[in-house]
Structures are given as structure tokens and as C-alpha cells.
Amino acid sequence: QVTLRESGPALVKPTQTLTLTCTFSGFSLSTSGMCVSWIRQPPGKALEWLALIDWDDDKYYSTSLKTRLTISKDTSKNQVVLTMTNMDPVDTATYYCARIGTGGGGPFDYWGQGTLVTVSS
């Protein structure tokens, strides 16, 4: 049974760095074809893809946010970590992690429940 769960602060101040952790079970990120991605959704708005890390430790970032994002994995802990620097109120959103089980280009077949991050002083 595949599960993913996001964790991190619910509130961050402008200019701070956000660190989110995705803890998963039911698969290994060292298995060929496995990837974990981060996706966010501002309140009432559309989904926005942020970053992806694959089984081979290749990393891909949103063009518009790549200077602020870092994605990493700890295979032994079954965790993927996303850091986003210089947070701004427009970054207020629900942040999801999701799995791809069929390699690059595949669908997000399992999602976490999401964690709401509010950016405010």
C-alpha cells in the first residue's frame, strides 16, 4: 500500500526558508522508475508543479522557481525534502507530494493529503 505524507511548518514569515518533508511508504525511491514530485495549490487556484527527483537522483525544477527550490532524497528514511527560499505571501498554498511509478513522463498515481503553508508576518 503506497502512502505519502507531507510535513512542515503551517506558518512562515516573509523572507524565511520553507522546508517540507514528504515521508512515504509502500515503494522505494531507489527502484528504477520511481520519482517523487512536489506540487502546490494556492487557495482557490490551479495546481502548480514545483520539482521532481527520480530514482537516479536526477532533479528537475519549475523554470520560474528554480532559483529558490532545492529537492533532495534520503532513501534510507523514505523521505524527500523540498526547500524554498525567500518565502513571500504569494507562496501561501497547499503543498502536495506525489509519486510517479513509471519514470519520467508518467502520471502522479499517489498523492499525499497536502499541507497548508501560510506566509505572513
Partner 1 sequence: QSVLTQPPSVSGAPGQRVTISCTGSSSNIGAGYDVHWYQQLPGTAPKLLIYGNSNRPSGVPDRFSGSKSGTSASLAITGLQAEDEADYYCQSYDSSLRGVFGTGTKVTVL
Q: Residue 89 CB, nearest distance to partner 1 (Å)?
A: 17
Q: Tell me, what amino acid is at 64? A: S
Quote the cell numbers at residue 108. 502522479
Q: Which is nearer to partner 1, 27 or 112 (CB)?
A: 112
Burial of 111 (C-beta count, 10 Å sphere; 0-12/13-18/19+): middle
Q: Residue 23 CB, nearest distance to partner 1 (Å)?
A: 15
Q: Residue 115 CB, nearest distance to partner 1 (Å)?
A: 11
Q: Which is nearer to partner 1, 38 or 119 (CB)?
A: 38
Q: What is the dihedral of CA 116, 5, 32, 55, to 10 degrees?
A: 50
Q: Which is nearer to partner 1, 43 or 121 (CB)?
A: 43
Q: Which is nearer to partner 1, 114 or 119 (CB)?
A: 114
Contact positions toward partner 1, by CB under 8 A? 37, 39, 46-49, 52, 60-64, 96, 104-109, 111-114
Nearest to 118 by CA among 23, 39, 6, 18: 18
Q: How far apart are CA 42 and CA 46, in angstroms?
A: 7
Q: Residue 86 CB, nearest distance to partner 1 (Å)?
A: 18
